[in-house]
Structures are given as C-alpha cells and as structure tokens.
Structure 1
Amino acid sequence: MDITITTPALLFPAISVLFLAYSNRFLAIANRIREQHNLFNKTQSPIAKKQIDSLRQRIRFIVAMQLLAVIGIICCIIAMGLIFYGLQYDGNLAFGFSMVFIVLSLLASISELLLSTRALNIELEDMEAH
C-alpha cells in the first residue's frame, strides 16, 4: 500500500494533544513529589515512603512516554520527507516505525496510569486505617 504525504501529516494534531496530556501528567507528578517530600520530611511516614517509590517509577514511565512519542514524531517527519522525495517504500517503512513508537508511548501511558491508580489506593487505604 502506498501512502501519500498527507497520511503522516494526519498524526500531527493527535501528537500535540498527546504531548499536552503528557506535559500535564508530568507537572501534576512534579507537584505531587514536592508535596510528598514535605510530608516525608515532617513525618517520616511509611505511607509517604511507599508513595515516593511509586512516584519514582511513574517518572520513569512519563520519561519513556515522552521519549517514545518524540521518536515517533521524528519518524513521522522522516516518512513525510522520504515520500516527498519519491522514496515511497522507505517512507512507508518510516511511517510504520512512527506508528509503532507512538503505540509504545501509549502503552507506557497505560502502565503509568495503572501505577498511578495503585498509588491512589495506597492513600485510600491509609485514610481507611485512620
């Protein structure tokens, strides 16, 4: 199947929304880390310690999400350039790679979401215990 130069271009609106969501997640977790840091310094709470470990893992996932998305965007741009220069097969291949990287980014996003949910459950369990 041959794709036209407009096919990879269709990903650009989705990519901007994706990065907005990823940036919001990063900012939210940065604020949460600052809160947990203050709480841990004041209380040395084991619950805060569990949350700190969870936050560290979530940061890794968010970095992976963003890196994979950036690689996907770069592959998409390369695909457009290759198609523009008449290298259809190579352009199709680059576009395929871009989709793979974006899907991997979304899978990392799901993993981070699940980890985030577990962290919230830790907070809820602590509230129930008191």
Structure 2
Amino acid sequence: MSITLTTPALLFPALSLLLLAYTNRFLSLADRVRGLKARYENAPHAHLRPQIENLRRRLGLLRNMQAVGTGSMFGCVLTMFVLYAGWQQAGQLLFGASLLALLISLGMALLEIQISVDALNIELDNLQETPAA
C-alpha cells in the first residue's frame, strides 16, 4: 500500500475537532473543579471527597488524551514531511503510529466519559441520601 501527502492531511479536520472537543471538556472540568473547591471551602462535607477524587482522575485522563491527540497530529505532519522527502516506507510507519495514537486517545476519551458518568451517579446518590426539605 502506498500513501500520498494527502492521506495524512485527511485526518487534520478530525484531529482539530477532536482537540477542540478535548479543550472544551477541559474548560468545563476546570469550572467544575473551581466550583467544587468553593463548595468544599464553604462547607466541607464528606460526600464531596469522592467527587474531588473523580475530578482528579478525569483531569489526568484529559491531560493524557490531549497529549496523545496532539502527538497524533504531530505524527501526521511528520508523515507528510517524510513522504515529501520521498521516504515512503517511513511515512507509512509514521502514519500507522499516528492512527494508533488517535485510537489510544479515543479510548482514553471513552474511559473519561465513563468516569464522568460515575461523577453524576455520585451526585445522584447524594441527592437520594439528602432528606427533602
């Protein structure tokens, strides 16, 4: 199989949108962390501790998702350079590595979504335990 310069370029729109989605998740998570910090400082409740730990795990995953996704984009650009230089086999290997990095990033995104659902379940459990006024 041979690939051309345009093959890795096809991933640019998808990778750009993916990194934008990751950035949006990061911004909403940062707001959530700041809000939870304020809640905890005003009234430190034990039920907030699982949320804090959940957010810490999600932040780590999000950092890694962004790093691997950026690495995938970097690999695509490097692939284009290598193909331009005429090194077809190296370009194929780099492009394969870029696709693998993209798969890893998407897998981490799926895991982060599952952890996010856990955070919502913690909130729902807390609502059920709190007596109605």
**TM-score with structure 2 setting the length:** 0.95
Separation in 2, partners of 1:108, 1:97: 16
**What is the number of equivalent residue pairs in this alignment?**
130
Partner SS, residue 47 of structure 2: helix
CA RMSD of aligned residues (A): 0.7
Match of 1:120 in 2: 120
Aligned residue in 2 for 1:98: 98
Question: How many Å separate the matches in 2 of 1:50 and 1:43?
Answer: 15
Q: Structure 2 regions of 5+ residues with no counterpart?
A: none
- Larger mean Cα displacement after TM superposition, 37-46 or 7-16: 37-46
Q: Indicate the percent of aligned positions where both proteins have the same amino acid.
A: 38
Where in structure 2 are the equivalents of 1:1-130 lying within 5 Å? 1-130=1-130
Give ranges in structure 1 of 5+ residues lacking alignment: none
What CA deviation, in whole Å up to 9, does each residue of 1:27-73 have, x standing for no partner?
00000001100111111111211101100000000000000011111
Cα shift at 1:20 = 1.0
Question: In the alignment, is the contact (CA less than 8 A) between 2:19 and 2:70 conserved in 1?
Answer: no
TM-score by length of 1: 0.98
